[in-house]
Amino acid sequence: MENPSKIEEGGVTYSLGTFDGKQVFYDFPKILVYLEAKGKRLFGRDFTLHEEDGEMLLKLSNYFIRDHENCEKDGIDPDKGILLTGPVGCGKTCLMKLMRHIAPHQRQYEVIPARNIAFSFNHIGFKTIEDYGNGMFYCFDDLGVEPMGRYYGKDCNVMGEILISRHELFQRHKVRTHATTNLNSDELEERYGSRVRSRMRQMFNLIAFDKDTTDKRI
């Protein structure tokens, strides 16, 4: 039987915990070792995890390995998606690209910049909204700063419409949606309206970087 507690990366086997044949017992320090190694392969040798983000990394890890007991302690619903918020440059996109690798046996999601979706709408119209309202798992990156869509003279809040469609998928089929954003709740409501913001509360677990987190791109 394949051992889901071990992941091979670049010819090196990383142990994320122990496997008794039925269940994986994860070890958070080992998860961090793997995440740092995988991050360097994905984003370059200068990538590093920051001690100041430890609590948030633990919450994300518990969510993605579906540790129901610890998720409950943190008020996280494993059946909802993640809305990862924080200042510009704090590492939201990198983490959402990285975290999906710690449980490769689970259904994966694709990270898509929200602005790319808006640009797609400008070219092909409402089919874009249909395409992202399907049963795939997505993480919409930089939600809320994408431009308004415009197709044949008609304006459309593209991501707002897609979030409504994704909410329906979540309600009916528990299809999860993730997102990253620099905006706070009031700014998101201003961008998408109270109807969408209400649906977002039902769809997402909010996990936030500290507002004083440094810009890691510098």
The pLDDT tens digits along the chain (218 residues) read 478 899 998 899 999 999 998 889 999 999 999 999 999 999 999 999 999 999 999 999 999 999 999 999 999 999 999 999 998 888 999 999 999 999 988 889 999 999 999 999 999 999 999 999 888 999 999 999 999 999 988 899 999 999 999 999 999 999 999 999 999 999 999 999 999 999 999 999 999 988 777 777 75
**Diameter of the chain measured on Cα atoms:** 60
Question: Is residue 180 helix, strand or coil?
Answer: strand
Question: Is residue 196 helix, strand or coil?
Answer: helix
Place of tokens 């993605």: 64
Domain boundaries, the chain: 77-208
CB 79 within 8 A of CB 174: yes
| Tokens (6 digits) for 65 | 């390995």
| Tokens (6 digits) for 109 | 């999601």
Q: Which CATH number fits domain 77-208: 2.40.50.100, 3.60.110.10, 3.40.1410.10, 3.40.50.300?
A: 3.40.50.300
Give the Cα separation of 149 and 158 in Å (integer). 6
What does residue 183 show for φ and ψ, rounded to 5 degrees? -90, 150
Question: Is residue 156 helix, strand or coil?
Answer: strand
CB 133 within 8 A of CB 165: yes
Minimal CA–CA distance to 100: which of 4, 35, 16, 27?
35
